[in-house]
Amino acid sequence: MPTASQYTSSPPTASSNGYRSVFREGLFTGQVIVVTGAGSGLGRCTAHELASLGAILALIGRSEDKLKAVEAELTADHQHPASGHRTYSCDIRNEQQVRETIASIITELGRIDGLFNCAGGQFPARLEKISLNGWDAVVRNNLHGTFLMSRECYTQWMQHHGGTIVNMLADIWGGMPGMGHSGAARAGVWNFTETAACEWGHAGVRVNAVAPGWIASAGMDSYNEDYQALLRTLKHKVPLQRFGTESELASAAVFLLSEASAFINGTVIRVDGGVPNARHSWPLPEAERTIEYDGFPRYQPPTGLRDQTAA
């Protein structure tokens, strides 16, 4: 395992509480970006990076308390936009709630320039052990919620003004044993992404996706101890021999939301350290060095992986 001195990252260029983004200052000034699952983990981190670049955030989640906590962080850490960020408690699986939430965002913030469908969730289980209710809950959260949020952003605003949508996938290549409900849902999101990219492109709407591998995010703490023990072994299956950071996933989503990706449509950026490229016939050596990016000063690795990260 590499020592701390073997981990390298770029020197910070922002204040101690400011997000150290690789993107230019003011990139999203005047833009309204909707982030689902914004109360924790990858959604929270991405919200911070977008806020640091001037975006006005519509933070969506089911827990109002978590959303308000993130809103307070954004206000403390970044120059606050004149109109301010907003929080919206919404179950993205509920069609009426989604429709009303998007309408409220447009009324209160005046526009929607981008949508990051980050919300999702799953639990480890073998296929034969998954109940219909468990299957339905995961598919509705990951697939139905992505569809509803995207459709309402498109029909209520983007159809007439353009915009960008970034969806959340996972390392689904070759199946997702142990989380088949999530794999099926994410594969559906991937197909939906490609379809929407074709159908909505004429309106100036781009639809892409990010596919994280094993990112050391707070969401990992929700798994039971047996699964966390499995997670601790997984970095040895990554060619880069480490877990990813929340910032590494956020930066990919931010790029796809930005003007720099204006001719990228219907594609996916894998943020997985090369896991799908590993082969049983090729032993992965221990890392001699690794260069990681962590621009989020508030980032804390999940409790179960703190001895597995560079920090």
pLDDT band at 28 (very low <50, low <70, confident <90, very high): very high
CB atoms within 10 A of CB 292: 18
Rounded Cα–Cα distance for residues 154 and 165 (Å): 9
For residue range 129-183, list pLDDT tens digits in order: 999 999 999 999 999 999 999 999 999 999 999 999 999 999 999 999 989 999 9
The mean-pLDDT minimum among 78-87, 179-188, 214-223, 240-249 falls in 214-223
Give the CA count within 13 Å in the CB-facing half-sphere of 254: 30
Residue 58 backbone phi and psi in degrees, to 5: -105, 105
Q: How much is the pLDDT for 217?
A: 84
Which residues touch 212 (CB under 8 Å, ≥6 apart)? 42, 168, 169, 170, 171, 244, 249, 271, 272
Q: What is the pLDDT of residues 186-199, one digit of tens each?
A: 999 999 999 999 99
In contact, 179 and 169? CB cutoff 8 Å: no
Whether the pTM exceeds 0.85: the reply is yes
Both tokens of 128, joined, read: 């034969």
* Lowest-pLDDT choice from 154-168, 259-273, 284-298: 284-298
pLDDT mean over 118-124: 89
Contact 254, 247 (CB under 8 A): no
| 221 compared with 85, residue with greater pLDDT | 85
**Could you give the 3-state DSSP secondary structure of residue 19?**
coil
Distance between CA atoms of residues 145 and 149, nearest Å: 6
Superfamily of domain 31-274+283-305: NAD(P)-binding Rossmann-like Domain (3.40.50.720)
Average of per-residue pLDDT across 227-241: 86
> Residue 306: which pLDDT band, with cuts at 50, 70 and 90?
low
